[in-house]
Copies of this chain bind each other. A is one copy, B any other.
Amino acid sequence: MSRPTVHDIAKEAGVSLATVDRVLNARPGVRDQTIAKVQAAIDRIGYVRDTFAANLARQRQYRFAFILPAAPSQFARTLKDALKEAYASQLADRVLLKTIDIPTQDPHAIVRSLRGLNTSALDGVAIMAPETPQVRDAIARLKDEGLAVVTLISDLPNSRRDHFIGINNVAAGRTAGQLMGNFLGPDGEILIVSNSMRSRDSLERRLGFDDVIASDFPGLTVLPSVESYDDPQRMERVVGAVIAARPALAGVYSMGAGNTSLLAALRESGRLKDLTVIAHELTPMTRRCLQENEIAAVINQNVGHLVRSSLRVLRSICDDLPIYESQERVRIEIMMRENLD
């Protein structure tokens, strides 16, 4: 009653174990006709390779690298913590993990880092990087070298990456828009804050947000995006200016990093209590703001899930196994004060 083994295939196909092995591992020296016979037997008895026994025999090690922004944002730190935890857990069986920091703001430095990778010492990489032609080329090179490549959080859809692990950012923006519209009254103005509109995730979020507000909440006005470029001073200055100039301001949507300085600026203005703030990514900071009702909702993607999913997907790609989409789909979580676990 237990699952069939290679021996069963051999018996069923009327060939020897060695031949089954050659077919299974795509080794040469088997006639097409025999291959077909073995394949038929495999299908008939429903054989599935025992990956763990195979890895044991093969002494397989999966060597993966996570390529992440060096910028010390709260979100990046949360992500790295999740990586450490995954590493410690049994999930990391036969997995060697490495984290590589890249300077996000300089596209050339990113490409230099990617080119500097010792690809022969790696089986796969997970990359979180902004979208530039150079990065796409670098990924093509990694694929040429036979690595598994997944993009993390922000996708590079026209690159040769195998898979994207992260949320649909248009839908995330739409969700923020729907929440904002439901929370606010019939009219008012909404400030949009972003770290940089050059990154794909911010663009997509803005797109989704605007779309929902325009179609479902026509009384609300969305102001142009304000960018902070990783600069707290700049954030406080520009946000302060908008608040002072906009008495009808009712909501603030923060699409990326920089929530600490944004909230500082809002507190400074004295209008925080009257504003509905929606931000992205649950960090110790945004969690505290939720608890104290300074932020109404946080759109989140679970970092633990992101990391575990990346590892599973990278392994599946390396082993040429199917990916269970329903398990790997990263959900757009709405976090409010009461469901902070």
Q: A residues bordering B, Cβ < 8 Å?
A: 2, 48, 50-53, 55-56, 59, 61, 85, 89-90, 93, 168, 171-172, 174-175, 177-179, 182-183, 208, 212, 296, 302, 304, 308, 321, 324, 326-327, 329, 331-334, 336-339, 341
A-B contact pairs, 19 of them (CB 8 A): A48-B90, A51-B90, A51-B93, A52-B53, A56-B56, A89-B324, A89-B327, A168-B341, A171-B338, A171-B341, A172-B339, A175-B339, A178-B337, A182-B182, A182-B183, A208-B338, A304-B326, A331-B333, A332-B341
Q: Are B182 and A296 in contact (CB under 8 A)?
A: yes
Task: Give Cα A114 to B189, complex, Å.
Answer: 59
Task: Give Cα A308 to B50, complex, Å.
Answer: 19
Q: Are B93 and A52 in contact (CB under 8 A)?
A: yes
Q: Which listed residue, B52, B183, B331, B339, touches A302 by the CB 8 Å rule?
A: B331
Task: Give Cα A337 to B339, complex, Å.
Answer: 19
Nearest opposing residue in chain B for A2, CB measure = B61
Interface SS of chain A? helix
Task: Give Cα A178 to B290, complex, Å.
Answer: 12
Query: Distance in Å from the Cβ of A48 to the closest Cβ of chain B?
Result: 8
Task: Give Cα A2 to B53, complex, Å.
Answer: 17
Cβ–Cβ < 8 Å partners of A2 in chain B: 59, 61
Query: Distance in Å from the Cβ of A178 to the closest Cβ of chain B?
Result: 5
Query: Distance in Å from the Cβ of A94 to the closest Cβ of chain B?
Result: 9
Task: Give Cα A178 to B338, complex, Å.
Answer: 7
Cβ–Cβ < 8 Å partners of A52 in chain B: 52-53, 55-56, 93
Cβ–Cβ < 8 Å partners of A339 in chain B: 171-172, 174-175, 331-332, 334
Query: Distance in Å from the Cβ of A170 to the closest Cβ of chain B?
Result: 10
Cβ–Cβ < 8 Å partners of A175 in chain B: 336, 338-339
Task: Give Cα A216 to B137, complex, Å.
Answer: 54
Cβ–Cβ < 8 Å partners of A332 in chain B: 339, 341
Q: Are B327 and A308 in contact (CB under 8 A)?
A: yes
Q: Are B56 and A338 in contact (CB under 8 A)?
A: no
Query: Distance in Å from the Cβ of A36 to the closest Cβ of chain B?
Result: 25
Q: Are A338 and B177 in contact (CB under 8 A)?
A: yes
Cβ–Cβ < 8 Å partners of A321 in chain B: 90
- Supplied contacts A52-B93, A308-B327, 15 more A-B pairs, CB within 8 Å: A50-B93, A52-B55, A90-B321, A171-B338, A171-B339, A172-B339, A178-B337, A178-B338, A182-B182, A208-B338, A212-B338, A329-B341, A333-B334, A334-B334, A334-B339
